[in-house]
Structure 1
């Protein structure tokens, strides 16, 4: 947790104020038993009524001052903790945004969500507790011991026996609970993963009648989390009965031995009452420390998980000095490119070399697992190549700033992703300052204007979370419009026409021809009809290029391509 204290620097004066207020509150609490002893010893025993009222009124003032300090300290500590949580969440989110897909794959989306929400909340709660107790508990303990000894040093020997017993009990309970907190957070990660899969895949689950299976998966994850949480709480629940047992026996011992000292004239009744209150303050301060022991281990685990994210450096970094690009805008070159996923036995791509020029359509086709989407992912640097290089306008993409590189590209992913908001907002996601005319033109080219016009509010119609209120084909067309409105130098379509019917597919490709005449267009597709008119078709097979040429030439020279065509088209269509 020490690393995370850097986020508290903007609140150093607030923290100083909290510590001062807690210090004053603790002084108030420590002074009250002495005033009460004076009332008993002098006011009640001697029958001095005016003295009782005078000291009683002073006690009320001291108690009120302590209450004001306590309320002010609570308010300030809450503000500090809330600001700390906001700062950490912002830092984690901005840091994660710089991750490449490799870092996302390494930690996992479900775990990142848990760390950004639950883990930060755990640390935030402990911070509030620490701000209140880091001064109060030690001061009440030490101050209580000093004041108790000042009342009767010999009776304080009871505390010499009690305090070590109490401290040992706290340590034994906390040491058993600490290892379980890490397991608890991991099981919470797993529960989030199962829940996320169950919610996002609900259509598939229902269509295959796997509702009961997913229910069992969730119940198993939930039961595992519950069992661990129960085990932790059972251990920690033992703390309070132990504390109360020790406190009650301590009170009995103090009253027993105190009454003996009063009967022998070594101690006054008021001093015994004050001593008893100081002993309770000492015990309660140790209980407050025990509460910190309950929460700090879990917060420490959470802080470690947050630091793991913050300490993870992205493999992909921007160059210190960006090289200027050439005059030919959008020219792409792959030079002997190879790439492997972490832990994979075989490379996903090997020896990939080709070029794509402005004004041309380069299509990529191949069987499932041939490396089409992987190849496309390397252009915007979602992953970095392991061997060879990718150059855009004569400059290696690794020597360009990621923002500069991606500003050149209009990317349409294989799985269309829409965001909650209006249709207009989703299209303008590609270009924030796009005019209404640019937005409508992009939608028309993407063949989306028809279904948009049929919606009740047109471009202001609301898209549900994940785009669940539009069809797969409509999602794809809106994703294409989002890329078109950007008017980039390079268009990358990663199997973006798969959900379109043949008629819409043909109309869209015809419209794209005129719209992207000056840009470099790369299309990944499964359908032969989608790529048949491309200037250049790249055929991938098991991560290698099996052929590069036009449709007609590939039919003569590439067996892999002929097999793909034969599997999709009839003999008459091929002819």
Structure 2
């Protein structure tokens, strides 16, 4: 059988695009299609994998029909070749006989001479004309007919493969789209549990493995089964005794599958799990490669990688070893049957039970019978591996999704961006309470700063505003409408957010800023860039705003990355602006410039600022101090300092405490500065042994106006 090539863009217009949508949305990936229970064993997972192809059942019907025609032509060809062999063999025997006598007279003469087996063989011949020799015209006609049958069979073979490969391409296209859509429906809690490397392995490696396995096995599986059926029919039509000898292979094959299959499948599942863990390890190591080198942990990383790599090697070796045993064992069983057919067939030809050409055809049929069985054994390797990968993909598709928006969700009415928390309760873990009975309101145009120690719930607070997580109790209102009753897209469309870790995609700086507002003009993008001081460093780049950022945006500094993300939020012109440690990556001078820009850009919109550096939020209209998920203080900067509560303690730890420590150290080294006289006390400086003590005496004052 000819090798099948994957069909890519050539089949794009061959099949109904609605089938792809059906497969991606329901027919085999979700509730409307195949079984959606988590795949825990081989057969449930395999059935669900085949269910992915259900939308193209009609294409399978056509491909199967073409395959039946191909099998019919393929199994006819050995019979025709056998007849050509009979013409040659019987003609050669006839040429040695005297002309002018009949076939029966020759047989009777041989029998009278004691050649009973030879006589029986002559009687069975159908192309025997004594003295005539080989009929080359009949031979040429038979060979041309055989050549035409093979040529026509290859055409149907190619057509069947073309259709089936197209189905695989379409099904995998739909599967990838389904996985992509599923990822967007998953809650953030899912990504908190699953490592990025593991998720990437399922989306890329596992789906690629399924694609390759289906392309390599699907066509061969259908044609192999059809070939086995067609060959069996032809073998029984020639000799039922020889056919029974050939069938000895079947119970041996079944035993091989029963013994090796489950063990191989178990190891394939472990192989792909180990692949996911190894990908996670590599992704983690590369992401923090600089820190690994700084702290000299290369040996630890190598040891961890070696362990994960060894686990993958062992699982892969066991899986490939077990599955690789199938084809050799089945080929051995086929060779046993071949020997039996050759011996028994020779005896039957000698006894005149069948003709020599029929034995030749039967031997070809026996090879055609064992070859697809051996191919099925070889397919077991890829099918088991693909099923293990499919199980992992199905686990992703079956993961619990965030609650969908209600169909009758009201539209979000235009408003200035007033936010109000009413008795809000939330926790990541039901056993650990985080936010309880949270109440506050933010008026339009106000800037609210949220401060507190690590783990106090600051970022969680803004995540609740964005509906990244659902509340356990209470409500959050945006311009008087409960956000939990609105569509998530509407809520987030009114909000701009700048995270502590800047995220940029591979593209130009202009495209990265415009990401916040796709319809923004170049002038609007540049205006946002100027307001956030992005324009300062972009103008210095050779390609300006057309500078393409690489995959890690390593051609700009960390502070410049953050400035670009801030410009992206500003160009969106949201009603609510959230800055989560947005200035943590910029230098002090740039931070001061950003404060001026933010003051202008925050005007007229509600702003939430999360900051650890309290110097950045002194001008906030309202400061919320959080501890253990609760607001323990609120007010402006001056009033909170006067209260000398939680905010005052945070402020002292950042500024006053550091200053006191510095003053104490300076006093120990140089003495106490006399502010009244402008001189220095004559305290002694510590000296090293054998060193000359410094000269004591007044130090001249420095003119502050100089």
Name 2:656's counterpart in structure 1: 570
**TM-score when scaled to structure 2?**
0.78
Name 1:17's counterpart in structure 2: 62
User: Which structure has the larger Rg?
Assistant: 2
- Structure 2's unaligned 5+ residue stretches are 1-45, 92-133, 661-706
Question: Partners of 1:287 and 1:558 in 2: how far apart?
Answer: 83
**TM-score when scaled to structure 1?**
0.95
CA contact (8 A) 1:356 1:520 kept: yes
Q: Looking at both structures, which has the greater relative contact order when contacts are Cα pairs under 8 Å and sequence separation is at least 6?
A: 1
Shift of 1:341: 1.6
- Partner SS state of residue 546, structure 1: strand
Shift of 1:166: 2.4
Name 2:238's counterpart in structure 1: 151
Shift of 1:283: 1.0
- Partner SS state of residue 623, structure 2: strand
Counterpart pick for 1:190 among 255, 277, 299: 277
Question: Partners of 1:14 and 1:131 in 2: how far apart?
Answer: 13
2:75 counterpart of 1:75: no
Question: Partners of 1:29 and 1:423 in 2: how far apart?
Answer: 61
- Partner SS state of residue 192, structure 1: helix
Shift of 1:494: 0.5
2:295 counterpart of 1:208: yes
CA contact (8 A) 2:330 2:377 kept: no
- Partner SS state of residue 547, structure 1: strand
Name 1:26's counterpart in structure 2: 71
What does 1:472-491 correspond to in 2, within 5 Å? Answer: 472-491=558-577
Name 1:303's counterpart in structure 2: 390
Mean CA deviation greater in 558-567 or 125-134: 125-134
Mean CA deviation greater in 214-223 or 103-112: 103-112
Shift of 1:9: 5.5
2:328 counterpart of 1:238: no
Name 2:554's counterpart in structure 1: 468
2:139 counterpart of 1:94: no
Shift of 1:12: 4.4
CA contact (8 A) 1:41 1:270 kept: yes
CA contact (8 A) 1:377 1:383 kept: yes
Q: 1:326 to 1:155 in 2, by over 3 A?
A: closer
- Structure 1's unaligned 5+ residue stretches are none
**For each residue in 1:96-143, what CA deviation from the matched residue of structure 2 results, as whole angstroms up to 9, or x when unmatched?**
112221122244322222222122222223332454134312221122
Counterpart pick for 2:378 among 278, 291, 303: 291
Counterpart pick for 2:448 among 350, 355, 362: 362
Mean CA deviation greater in 182-191 or 40-49: 40-49
Q: 1:34 to 1:494 in 2, by over 3 A?
A: same
Question: Partners of 1:143 and 1:157 in 2: how far apart?
Answer: 15
Counterpart pick for 1:348 among 431, 434, 442: 434
Name 1:331's counterpart in structure 2: 418
**For each residue in 1:368-422, what CA deviation from the matched residue of structure 2 results, as whole angstroms up to 9, or x when unmatched?**
1211111111111111121222111112211111111111001101211111111
Question: Partners of 2:657 and 2:394 in 1: how far apart?
Answer: 61
Shift of 1:326: 5.7
CA contact (8 A) 1:364 1:524 kept: yes
2:563 counterpart of 1:518: no
**For each residue in 1:210-244, what CA deviation from the matched residue of structure 2 results, as whole angstroms up to 9, or x when unmatched?**
22221222222112111110111111121122122
- Partner SS state of residue 240, structure 2: coil
**For each residue in 1:498-531, what CA deviation from the matched residue of structure 2 results, as whole angstroms up to 9, or x when unmatched?**
1122222222122222222110000000011011
Q: 1:368 to 1:62 in 2, by over 3 A?
A: same
RMSD of the alignment, in Å?
Answer: 2.0
Moved beyond 6 Å, runs of 4+? 571-574
Shift of 1:438: 1.1
What does 1:376-391 correspond to in 2, within 5 Å? Answer: 376-391=462-477
What does 1:96-245 correspond to in 2, within 5 Å? Answer: 96-245=183-332
- Partner SS state of residue 423, structure 2: strand
Question: Partners of 2:61 and 2:216 in 1: how far apart?
Answer: 15
Q: 1:498 to 1:156 in 2, by over 3 A?
A: same
Question: Partners of 1:299 and 1:82 in 2: how far apart?
Answer: 15
Shift of 1:192: 0.9
Shift of 1:571: 7.8
Q: 1:447 to 1:573 in 2, by over 3 A?
A: farther
Name 1:423's counterpart in structure 2: 509
Q: 1:7 to 1:237 in 2, by over 3 A?
A: closer
2:76 counterpart of 1:37: no
Shift of 1:291: 2.7
- Partner SS state of residue 454, structure 2: coil
Shift of 1:325: 4.5
Question: Partners of 2:525 and 2:247 in 1: how far apart?
Answer: 79
CA contact (8 A) 1:30 1:278 kept: yes
- Partner SS state of residue 561, structure 1: helix
Shift of 1:45: 1.6
2:642 counterpart of 1:556: yes
Q: 1:461 to 1:326 in 2, by over 3 A?
A: closer
Name 1:542's counterpart in structure 2: 628
**For each residue in 1:444-499, what CA deviation from the matched residue of structure 2 results, as whole angstroms up to 9, or x when unmatched?**
22122111111111111111113222112111111100000010100000111111
Bigger helix share: 1
2:308 counterpart of 1:263: no
Question: Partners of 2:411 and 2:75 in 1: how far apart?
Answer: 71
Name 1:278's counterpart in structure 2: 365
**For each residue in 1:288-346, what CA deviation from the matched residue of structure 2 results, as whole angstroms up to 9, or x when unmatched?**
2223322222222222222222233422321222235566421111122222224x742
